[in-house]
Amino acid sequence: MSDPIVTLTTDFGDSSPYVAAMKGVILGINPHARLVDLSHRIPPQSTAHAAHFLAASIPYFPYRSIHVVVVDPGVGTDRALLLVSLDGQRLLVPDNGCWTELARKTGRTPEVIRLSTQRFWRHPVSATFHGRDILAPVAAHLSLGMELHDFGQPVTHWVRFVSPEPKIGKGRVEGEVVLVDSFGNLITNIPGEAVAALGDGTRVQVGDLDVPGRVRAYDEAKPGALVALTSSFGTLEVAVVRGSAALRLHADAGTPVTAISDAHG
């Protein structure tokens, strides 16, 4: 049996004593836990970014991995904290929708527990840091082999992140940028198949600006070229070869992107 995997995703920043404290709390309860940093640079309090980040990374992890997510603008208010079991993964999350895009993508039905069993929490519970005082110790106890229902009661309602759906119309698909990667590549919510269905001469626009190139891989065009391609997530991506499309186009999450069939142009 391998040691239990516990991943961490936060908006605390890499230099944060808050991350260090959470690692200490988890290992203090289960020194066998195998900590894996996913990201500590989710844009502050951006549950939308967290939603896309988790959907893009969690599915690869092995069965029974535990994922602690602390992107929590509502800390200390009465928002719930949840333990979600979904497609073999277990997540510990604030009830702010950060995990529901992952659920939508997997198409599986989650089992959701609202955390309430206070004997697994650190006391006194800080009003500003439930990651350290509730989520981390619950994750550690879960990694020791406890059952979902030990931590609270099942619930059937929770906050959902409403992912913007692309509009697939006649001869065109309208979507938007959902994630900017660290190269400045623009990852959209437009499925690659929807673009392919428009035919060979499809034009791609970011806002009002035409993206002239179409490639399969970055280096098929020259450095500096603005190109559209299929992202590693299977969706339409706009990139500048060896540069940043986000900087070039002043684009960010939410920027509209359209694919237009040449026949309808």
Q: Which residues of this chain interact with a copy of itself, rule CB under 8 A? A: 2-3, 5, 7, 9, 12-21, 23-25, 27-28, 31-32, 34-42, 44-45, 52-53, 56-62, 65, 73-77, 126-129, 132-133, 179, 181-183, 216-220, 229-232, 234, 237, 242
Which residue, chain included where needed, has tokens 């529901």?
100
Q: Would you call 122 helix, strand, or coil by DSSP?
A: coil
How remote is the C-alpha of 33 from its chain's centroid?
A: 23
CB of 135 to a copy of itself, least distance (A): 13
Nearer to a copy of itself, 40 or 174 (CB): 40
Helices (H), 33-130: 47-57, 100-106, 130
CB of 75 to a copy of itself, least distance (A): 6
How far is Cα 246 from Cα 144, in angstroms, rounded to an integer?
A: 43
Nearer to a copy of itself, 107 or 124 (CB): 124
CB of 9 to a copy of itself, least distance (A): 8
Within 13 A of 215's CA, how many CA atoms are on the CB side?
17
Nearer to a copy of itself, 39 or 202 (CB): 39
CB of 265 to a copy of itself, least distance (A): 26
Nearer to a copy of itself, 74 or 171 (CB): 74
Nearer to a copy of itself, 35 or 155 (CB): 35
CB of 207 to a copy of itself, least distance (A): 23
How far is Cα 25 from Cα 35, in angstroms, rounded to an integer?
A: 12
What b-and-e string marks burial along 197-235, b requiring 16 or more CB atoms within 10 Å of the CB?
A: ebeeebbbbbeeeebebbeeebeebeeebbbbbbbebeb
Query: What is each CA distance from 143 to 24, 138, 260, in whole angstroms?
Result: 15, 9, 49
How far is Cα 208 from Cα 5, in angstroms, rounded to an integer?
A: 45
Nearer to a copy of itself, 146 or 215 (CB): 215
